[in-house]
């Protein structure tokens, strides 16, 4: 059975990736993709926490939950969610809107690296991270 579930983008300018052949554990609305893409982590968090409670081993939900926490500035909770997605027994195959295929573990590893670089923070918050050459 092939079910498509939206997962929020890890890059602000990148279209949403969508898992393929995923078990029907969450409906698109449960993944709060639109608020996440818009940077409204607070809005997405309540929906994602309910979806995660209903199925704590859904990698797509866990990745989006991590993004929501990261957007709110809670890097510790974001890392926990990304690591939980990485540890899921079922690997969900993902396909980005651009057509590139990846799996949930690869996406979770990528999210952790992005978290470490501060890439989920708003551009205004990242400005303090910039260095300049003379």
Fold held by 17-124: 1.25.40
Of 59, 73, 74, nearest to 17 by C-alpha is 59
> Which residues pair with residue 93 across a beta bridge?
20, 103
58-95 pLDDT tens trace:
998 999 899 999 999 999 999 999 999 999 999 988 65
Q: Hey, is 34 helix, strand or coil?
A: helix
Using the Cα atoms of residue 120, residue 29, residue 5 and residue 85 in order, give the sign of their dihedral: positive
**Contact indicator for 17, 95 with CB cutoff of 8 Å:** yes
pTM score over 0.85: no
- What pLDDT score was predicted for residue 87? 96
User: Region 53-62: what's the mean pLDDT?
Assistant: 92
- What pLDDT score was predicted for residue 68? 93
Going from N- to C-terminal start, the domains of the chain cover 17-124
- What pLDDT score was predicted for residue 41? 82
Q: Cα–Cα distance between 134 and 130 in angstroms, integer?
A: 13
């Amino acid at each position: 059975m092939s079910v498509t579930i939206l997962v929020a983008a890890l890059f602000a300018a990148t279209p949403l990736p969508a898992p393929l052949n995923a078990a029907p554990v969450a409906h698109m609305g449960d993944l709060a993709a639109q608020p996440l893409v818009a940077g409204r982590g607070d809005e997405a968090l309540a929906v994602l926490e309910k979806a995660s409670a209903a199925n704590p081993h859904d990698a797509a939900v866990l990745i989006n939950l991590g993004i929501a926490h990261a957007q709110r500035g809670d890097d510790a909770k974001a890392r926990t969610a990304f690591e939980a997605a990485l540890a899921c027994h079922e690997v969900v195959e993902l396909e980005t809107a651009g057509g590139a295929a990846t799996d949930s573990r690869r996406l979770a590893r990528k999210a952790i690296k992005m978290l470490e670089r501060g890439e989920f923070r708003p551009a205004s918050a990242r400005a303090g991270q910039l260095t300049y050459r003379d």
